[in-house]
């Protein structure tokens, strides 16, 4: 694994996707239902339609990024619980936190308890949200299943999972290495009437 490439490009790309996901979910929760939308590129309208044309793909891809980053740091879902990813189950080309080193010592996988504790006021909510996001990626995005459509992930759960995943990666990957997460390459526009 090329650590610099992962730390400077690949992981930040996924973290950026989660930051954008959080922004879109905040807006979607505020709107309550799809709204008319125009997308401007270089000052010209390029697309018109409902906000769902734009938000739904971002939400779906965001769930996949949550799953990938959680797996990278050592977490997966089994039933309704977070469990550790056994490193013995990693494929030879899998990238994982344990392949990153500081002074010759490998970084440790994040434990389910550490993930739950990322939300000190409600560890159960943290676990439920992370598991829901993983299950959404597995059962709703990566392939079709017969049961996911009747019980999709709630926007609030996915928003919390995106925030928690960003926090966990920053705390357990970048902080131990003495590095900062590269800056997010987006800024939110100012709404005229909310």
pTM given for the model = 0.89
Locate the domains of the chain by residue range: 3-174
CB atoms inside a 10 Å sphere around CB 94? 13
- Please check whether residue 128 is in contact with residue 80, taking contact to mean a CB–CB distance below 8 angstroms: yes
What integer is the mean pLDDT of 86-94?
92
Q: What is the pLDDT of residues 35-66, one digit of tens each?
A: 999 999 999 999 999 999 989 999 999 999 99
Q: Which residue has the tokens 């080309």?
A: 93
Q: What is the pLDDT of residues 148-176, one digit of tens each?
A: 666 778 999 999 999 999 999 999 999 99
Whole-angstrom CA distances from 59 to 1, 26, 43, 161 are 28, 11, 25, 12
């Amino acid at each position: 694994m090329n650590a610099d490439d992962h730390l400077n490009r690949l992981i930040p790309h996924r973290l950026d996707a989660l930051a954008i996901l959080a922004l879109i979910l905040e807006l979607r929760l505020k709107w309550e239902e799809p709204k008319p939308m125009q997308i401007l590129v270089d000052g010209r309208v390029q697309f018109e339609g409902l906000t769902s044309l734009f938000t739904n793909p971002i939400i779906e891809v965001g769930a996949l990024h949550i799953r990938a980053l959680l797996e990278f740091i050592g977490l997966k879902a089994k039933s309704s619980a977070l469990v550790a990813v056994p490193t013995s189950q990693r494929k030879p080309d899998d990238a994982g936190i344990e392949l990153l080193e500081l002074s010759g010592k490998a970084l440790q996988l994040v434990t389910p308890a550490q993930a739950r504790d990322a939300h000190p006021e409600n560890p159960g909510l943290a676990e439920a949200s992370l598991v829901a996001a993983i299950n959404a990626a597995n059962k709703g995005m990566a392939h079709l299943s017969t049961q996911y459509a009747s019980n999709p992930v709630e926007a609030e759960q996915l928003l919390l999972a995106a925030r928690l995943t960003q926090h966990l990666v920053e705390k357990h990957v970048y902080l131990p290495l003495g590095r900062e997460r590269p800056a997010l390459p987006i800024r939110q526009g100012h709404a005229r009437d909310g």
